Structure 1
Amino acid sequence: MTSQEIKQQFIQFFELKGHKVLLPASLLPENDPSVLFTTAGMQQFKRFYVYPSEAPSTRVVTIQPCIRTSDIDEVGDATHLTFFEMMGNFSFGYPDKKDSYFKKEAICWAWEFLTEELKVEKDRLSATYFKGGKGIKKDIESLNILKTIPGLRKIKKQGWDDNFWSLGREGSPAGPTVEFYIDGVEIWNLVFNEYIFKNGRYQSSECKGVDTGMGLERLIMVLRERKDVFETEVYNNLKSQISNLKITSQNLKLVNGTKNQRIILDHKRAAEALAGEGLMPSNKEQGFILRRLIRRLIIILKKYGLQIDSITQNQTILAEAKKFSLTLERGLRQLELLIKNKKISGGQAFDLFQSYGFPFELTRELASEKGILIDEAKFQKEFTRHQKISRASQAKFKGGLATGGEIETRYHTANHLLLAVLRQVLGGHIQQKGSNITSERLRFDFSHPQKMTADEIKKTEELVNEKIQDGLEVNMKEMALVDARASGATGVFDDRYGDKVKVYTICDKNGTPFSAEICGGPHIKNTKEIGEFKIIKEESSSAGIRRIRAKIS
């Protein structure tokens, strides 16, 4: 059975159990500031565990690409990955919502899928449950269900770290877990969200839910009885590509071939996935992770005497490689000199970062191969000082917008027109759920249960351009937040606003407000300054959220 067949079988199995099949969320979450990337299948559904009435269905199934970078330094061993796919089934609103389910169905269906669909021998399977701790009682309900399963002979109790899931944030769901293992390898994690973390403690929730996750690559590894995830068919094409590069056995020996080949396989897959989402390498947050993946990939390939264009044609990756190549040779020579001295200070590591673009983690990794430790605290001190100087320099030039800023300001006002038009075309239920503006494009997320039709997209584009050509004035007024709400101005009403807010209003030719939004600005004075508006793509962002990508010219 191929990986594609396993995914299809998983979806079909739960579809027959009444689950709605939803598209995966973007790897770049816009409405969840707690994480840089989508790290689990349930991430796009977190709100539904607290507000199940907002869920598109009480039963949902997805296959979600994920990025996890907490163990990025561990990639190269048999199990760690930065990019992987997670198969999951979910339920919201138990017991009040019709067709919702909880522990019995989740546990029994997991067993059914593993033994009857995937044909895993029962004596290879085992399960664990939560034994209780930190004021939370033992999960006797799950234990009793597990005991009723014919053929499940190995059941083990485990503690908080292994079998209780929690974000630990105010208002977030939490609960005990049941985990299934094949040959002692954890395969499927079933989370039963029956608690809410509130006022510093876990309280029983009236609204319960199920969140499960099973890593595709690890599942294939144990089904095929392979030693590591990189020996599975998921990586076959990439491995063939590397083999065709004719890396000599001597080179493999010199650079710890198995580990480095694994890093190449993982980082190429992860970098291409992130670049495919439109992420650009940078020195902060998500962009920094992408830059780190690419630069680590470049340096490892260089050890083989290879260029990155030998394994990828992704233009974002190649552009970053070209930029890095300008300083790579000099940086490596400088690092080699430092290594010869058997010591690298935190300040010297920072100089490699500032002058040659070497991320600290990369310098640390290369140094550790030679048994050299670096003072990370000193590096962080230098890095913080550098940030303060940079911010002070930026403050001196805050008087006006540069050319890129002017373009982004035009996009910002186009964003307001787009929201108003969408509410007109699709209905008043439309709410902005996220946006991202650069000098090159607009990305706008909004609540809508279905894909827009071609006619709806065309009408939206035409109406936005009509408002642009009407030359409507953009006016700003400061007012109390309570007055802004009462006036009907749209906004994301959460903790981000102070008592006083700015409301930007665009009135039509009759003087009737067409758009009124709470916003920090800046905006242009007249809509004619925007230029021509063009929708490039309309797609799914996450469950119940659509995304529009657009450009102006």
Structure 2
Amino acid sequence: MKANELKRKYIDYFVNKGHTEIQSASLIPENDPSVLFTTAGMHPLAPYLLGEKHPAGKRLVDCQKCIRTGDIDEVGDASHLTMFQMMGNWSLGDYFKKESIQMSYDFLVNILGIDPNNLAVTAFAGDENAPRDEETVSIWKSMGMKDDHIFFYGKKDNWWGPAGVTGPCGPDTEIFYIDQSKPKCSDECGPSCHCGRYLEIWNNVFMEYNKTSEGKYEKLKQQNVDTGLGLERTLCVLEHIPSVYDTEFFTPIIKDIENASGLKYADSIREFRIIADHMRAAVFILGDDKGVAPSNLDQGYVLRKLIRRTIRYMQKLGMSWEPMIDIANTVVREYSGEYPELERNKAFIIEQLQNEAIKFAKTLDQGLRLTERILEGMDQNGTVSGEDAFKLYTSFGFPLDLTIELAAEKGIGVDSVKFEELFKEHQQISRAGSMQKFKGGLADASEETTKLHTATHLLGAALRKVLGPDVHQKGSNITAERLRFDFSFDRKMTKDELDEVEKLVNEAIKAGITVVCEEMTLGDARERNAEGVFGDKYGEMVKVYTIGTVSCEICGGPHVTNTAQIGGFKIKKEEASSAGVRRIKAVVGEQYA
């Protein structure tokens, strides 16, 4: 079965079950700072999981492009990917466990033809926050699932969310394909042992809780279903092939690497897979309409890491970085039919890859010189300190394996134990900072974030009035303390321009304008000249928020009901975001009135 055929079967199946197809959202979450990337289909739908009405209805189906970096060290095995496509069906306060499980089973067994004897499932074992999920197990048994194919696990394995610190979450039931060619690793062999016998393909999350900032799990006002069926993994199962890297998604990329390196995939499997995975992910991030570029912060840092790791593994195969551009062109060619933004942003993709490769070459050269100084004069059987190895990592992006490799060439070891201690400490500090940084966002829909969300509409309208009609939003990020608004503009704003924008926003706030929300077709919204960020993400029905004659914009909310509730508006900073994109940071409240 071809990938597009599988995707179409899935979409059509759920459309026939009363679901409305919606488009894949951006990889960069809009107004949700709880995560750096869209790691699941639930991010764009967070307000609707919390109870807001979706214009497309209560049943939705999509195929969402996702980025997950938590498993980056697993990339190169048979199933883990940085960028993947997640098919999902959604119930927003409509059907729940029984219907969800029945449809999943029906699709896998009767539509895709998978032998039910090759399926295993898991359920939540229960804890102090939520009870043992006996209902889910009872439903699976009614479908014919055998006792020895059902497993109970705790929160680590059978609880999904929240995506950030707070937000919608709940117990899940995961569906695994059993590779019968692989024997059980022990008498306790099951999906949680990760021995390779069980491959997770589908996860049905029963989202009925909201985790608060105090760590409490409160019942949502509606019961939701959020499912994810991995497109790459399911195709792998249907084609009876050993890994996701042997599917049609990767064979053209693997061929590019073979041609450029003169080597065979079978001789350097892990290196080929890492290069193919990281390049595909990097191209999708660069190709997103929100225009992320490599940097030392947030999404840009992850992107930089993926590109530089690609170059290092290309060097391991004796390659220069230049073939990276050929691989990028292949990714754009192979995927732009489904994701037209890649072709649309192709020039930006190539430009940023070239720039980053050249920068890394200089950094790599500096790091190699420092490494030479560290190794100089050391006796054979000496040891590079963990502190020096960690300095090479933090200053020059040298992974530990590169330092070990360079030292080994001179018969010198590396104190990897001390390096790992420093690395873990670094991770804990970073994670603690992120937990503070990424509080808030759409997931909590607090009063402050709601005010800030509406303020972005007023800001966008003011910018267009002051700078011209070609100014459009390129992205935004909202915490409980401030808004960050990216917009298309090719120079630094003057003080007079910033003062005028701030004045216009405050005038709209003081005017006390009613914020009107209407549901309409996308065509009607366009006829009204509604501003829409990344218009191809919307379904047929959309929500349009109108603020008098000031602003008319397609948006998912949440918003205040009257601009006076915002209190006041103050621009704190205007700076460059990336090529042709500027960024404004601003705050709201009565003190700025």
Q: TM-score, normalised by structure 1?
A: 0.68
**Which residue type is aligned with residue 363 of structure 1?**
P
Higher relative contact order (CA 8 A, sep 6+): 2
Please show how residues 231-310 of structure 1 align to structure 2 within 5 Å. Answer: 231-248=246-263, 257-277=268-288, 278-310=291-323
Q: 2:525 & 2:132 partners in 1: Cα distance?
A: 54
Select which of 163, 166, 177 maps to 2:172: 177
CA RMSD of aligned residues (A): 4.0
The CA deviation string for residues 278-305 of structure 1, in whole angstroms up to 9 with x for no partner, is 2100011110111111111112212333
The CA deviation string for residues 469-523 of structure 1, in whole angstroms up to 9 with x for no partner, is xxxxxxxxxxxxxxxx9983475xxxxxxxxx6x4xxxxxxxxxxxxxx233568
**Cα offset, 1:17, TM superposition:** 0.7
**Which residue type is aligned with residue 271 of structure 2?**
N
Which structure has the greater CA radius of gyration? 1
Q: 1:208 & 1:412 partners in 2: Cα distance?
A: 31
**Cα offset, 1:163, TM superposition:** 1.7
Q: 1:178 & 1:487 partners in 2: Cα distance?
A: 42
8 Å CA contact 2:35, 2:163 repeated in 1: no
1:20 corresponds in structure 2 to 20
1:82 corresponds in structure 2 to 82
The count of aligned residue pairs is 428
More displaced, 167-176 or 184-193?
167-176
1:321 corresponds in structure 2 to 357
The CA deviation string for residues 440-482 of structure 1, in whole angstroms up to 9 with x for no partner, is 389xxx9986546797587979xxxxxxxxxxxxxxxxxxxxx
Q: Cα–Cα, structure 1 residues 146 and 348, in superposed 2: closer, same or farther, change >3 Å?
A: closer
Select which of 379, 384, 396 maps to 1:343: 384
The CA deviation string for residues 310-360 of structure 1, in whole angstroms up to 9 with x for no partner, is 132522111211222233234235335646753144356436644xxx22x
1:120 corresponds in structure 2 to 114
8 Å CA contact 2:35, 2:164 repeated in 1: no
**Which residue type is aligned with residue 134 of structure 1?**
E
Select which of 191, 195, 214 maps to 2:205: 191
* Identical-pair percentage: 35
Q: Cα–Cα, structure 1 residues 280 and 125, in superposed 2: closer, same or farther, change >3 Å?
A: same
Please show how residues 475-490 of structure 1 align to structure 2 within 5 Å. Answer: 488-489=563-564
More displaced, 431-440 or 26-35?
431-440
2:103 corresponds in structure 1 to 109
More displaced, 310-319 or 178-187?
310-319
Structure 1 residue 417 corresponds to structure 2 residue 469: no
Q: 1:438 & 1:384 partners in 2: Cα distance?
A: 36
Q: Cα–Cα, structure 1 residues 261 and 168, in superposed 2: closer, same or farther, change >3 Å?
A: closer
1:218 corresponds in structure 2 to 233
1:543 corresponds in structure 2 to none
Stretches of structure 2 lacking an aligned partner (at least 5 in a row): 179-197, 327-349, 430-455, 467-475, 479-483, 493-514, 533-559, 575-579, 582-593
8 Å CA contact 2:31, 2:477 repeated in 1: no
1:49 corresponds in structure 2 to 49
1:468 corresponds in structure 2 to none
Q: Cα–Cα, structure 1 residues 338 and 456, in superposed 2: closer, same or farther, change >3 Å?
A: farther
**Which residue type is aligned with residue 195 of structure 1?**
Y
* 1:436 aligned counterpart, secondary structure: strand
The CA deviation string for residues 117-162 of structure 1, in whole angstroms up to 9 with x for no partner, is 1110121112222232225222222122111114656323323322
**Cα offset, 1:228, TM superposition:** 2.0
Q: Cα–Cα, structure 1 residues 77 and 379, in superposed 2: closer, same or farther, change >3 Å?
A: closer
Q: Cα–Cα, structure 1 residues 248 and 193, in superposed 2: closer, same or farther, change >3 Å?
A: closer
**Which residue type is aligned with residue 147 of structure 1?**
K
**Cα offset, 1:263, TM superposition:** 0.6
Q: 2:153 & 2:45 partners in 1: Cα distance?
A: 27
Q: 2:210 & 2:154 partners in 1: Cα distance?
A: 19
8 Å CA contact 2:97, 2:225 repeated in 1: yes
2:485 corresponds in structure 1 to 435
Q: 1:292 & 1:38 partners in 2: Cα distance?
A: 18
8 Å CA contact 2:261, 2:318 repeated in 1: no
Q: 2:530 & 2:561 partners in 1: Cα distance?
A: 30
**Which residue type is aligned with residue 292 of structure 1?**
K
Stretches of structure 1 lacking an aligned partner (at least 5 in a row): 94-99, 386-410, 422-430, 462-484, 492-500, 504-517, 524-534, 537-553
8 Å CA contact 1:29, 1:36 repeated in 2: yes
* 2:571 aligned counterpart, secondary structure: coil
Q: 1:235 & 1:383 partners in 2: Cα distance?
A: 31
**Cα offset, 1:91, TM superposition:** 0.7
* 2:32 aligned counterpart, secondary structure: coil
1:7 corresponds in structure 2 to 7
8 Å CA contact 1:52, 1:58 repeated in 2: no
* 2:139 aligned counterpart, secondary structure: helix
Q: 1:107 & 1:381 partners in 2: Cα distance?
A: 42
8 Å CA contact 1:30, 1:435 repeated in 2: no
Q: 2:562 & 2:105 partners in 1: Cα distance?
A: 55
**Cα offset, 1:384, TM superposition:** 13
8 Å CA contact 1:75, 1:262 repeated in 2: yes
